[in-house]
Amino acid sequence: MKDVELLYQAAMNMPASDIAIFNARAHPLLKQLCLKAKTYALRQYFKPEYDALLQLGLHIKESTHHFDLALIYPSKNKQQTLVWMAEAMLQLPEGGKLIMACANRHGGKSHETALQRLAGNMVSAAKAKCRIFSARKTADMNTDLAGQWLADGKAQRCESHGLISQPGLFSWDRPDCGSQLLLSCLDKPLSGEGADLCCGYGLLAVHLLRLSDQTSRIHLIEADQLALCCAAQNTAAWSEQVETHWLDAATEPLPSKLDWVVCNPPFHTGHSHDVELGQKIVTRACRSLKRGGSLYLVANRKLPYEHILTAELRSVQTLTEADGFKVMQGTR
């Protein structure tokens, strides 16, 4: 049984409640749980997961009222999960319950310890290499700790790159090595209409907008809504040239007939390595270009993208390789 199944099964065994689910994941048990509850509120910022919830026929909205049961499926980023734990405990009424489940290999014991520190009480069980644990809101809740977790996890300007970002985003507090290598190759203006595909908090887009006023429009495309919000703030000075798109680049339509695309594609789905995800995005990036348009791509040196580029583009070259990464440029 997976950790998400453990989480929903635990809630199914409780009386119907006003339920809030943080990082809700699509599962048949979730639909049963929501139908059973008096009211429910779902929080999900990642577009593929958001779409999967819609396909279950569920309404997605964040809670605007107090709830008596909170479920949290942890993020792969612990600091982001701590924010959800603090928010949930603060909104619960006295005696309200928070339940979490997590695979042991994904930090189950660490999250369990954090909940004990926050709530001052905790019940735990181990099953199928996972941990299921819960706490009640009592007078022993550490509100100071909750406030600290909320402050640490909010969107903030980072000294390392000078941009607004927040915990939970990819390489949130420093430029990642791949993007830095790609930036070193983007030393000339890119004119016309283009896209920063999988833009994160907008590191590449800000560089390009600062470099030239010849960019007529840049599309910021990102599956993580929190990252896209940061990217919009970081490019606010060029708002007339910027268009944001919250979408799944592997499955949803992209802007077309572009002059250029820059891309640092993901190759993970949650905790799992997913080469096919990056390959789908690269294929669709190539097809979003107009004839003569250019793609600038950075990737781990071992990832197999060359066959896609040579199949989709008229010319392909490797611009540089360093620190385990490669930057490739191709023309359609």
| Tens-place pLDDT, residues 225-245 | 999 999 999 999 999 999 999
Residue 64 has a pLDDT of: 63
Q: Specify whether 190 is located in the same domain as 134.
A: no
Q: Specify whether 142 is located in the same domain as 213.
A: no
Q: Specify whether 24 is located in the same domain as 126.
A: yes
Q: Specify whether 45 is located in the same domain as 177.
A: no
> Three-state SS for 220?
strand
Last residue of a domain, one of 153, 180, 200: 153
Q: Specify whether 240 is located in the same domain as 295.
A: yes
Last residue of a domain, one of 153, 174, 199: 153
pLDDT single digits (tens) 323-332:
999 999 999 9
Q: What percent of the chain has pLDDT over 90?
A: 86
Q: Chain centroid to CA 193: how far?
A: 26
* 258 DSSP β-pair partners: 289
State how many domains the chain has. 2
Instruction: Please check whether residue 189 is in contact with residue 211, taking contact to mean a CB–CB distance below 8 angstroms.
Output: yes
Look up the CATH number of the domain holding residue 219: 3.40.50.150
Q: Specify whether 85 is located in the same domain as 213.
A: no
Q: Specify whether 225 is located in the same domain as 197.
A: yes
Q: Specify whether 196 is located in the same domain as 68.
A: no
State pTM to two decimals. 0.94
Residue 268 has a pLDDT of: 47
Q: Specify whether 140 is located in the same domain as 263.
A: no
Q: Specify whether 114 is located in the same domain as 204.
A: no
* Residues of the chain scoring pLDDT < 50: 268, 271-272
CA 63, 68, 69, 70 torsion-angle sign: positive
Domain range for 279: 156-331
Last residue of a domain, one of 126, 153, 180: 153
Q: Specify whether 258 is located in the same domain as 119.
A: no
Instruction: Please give the structure tokens belonging to residue 108.
Output: 């189950």
Residue 62 has a pLDDT of: 75
Residue 274 has a pLDDT of: 66
Runs of H (alpha helix) within the chain: 3-12, 28-36, 47-55, 78-91, 108-119, 143-153, 177-185, 203-211, 225-234, 275-287, 306-312
Q: Specify whether 91 is located in the same domain as 199.
A: no
Instruction: Please check whether residue 101 is in contact with residue 73, taking contact to mean a CB–CB distance below 8 angstroms.
Output: yes
Residue 271 has a pLDDT of: 46
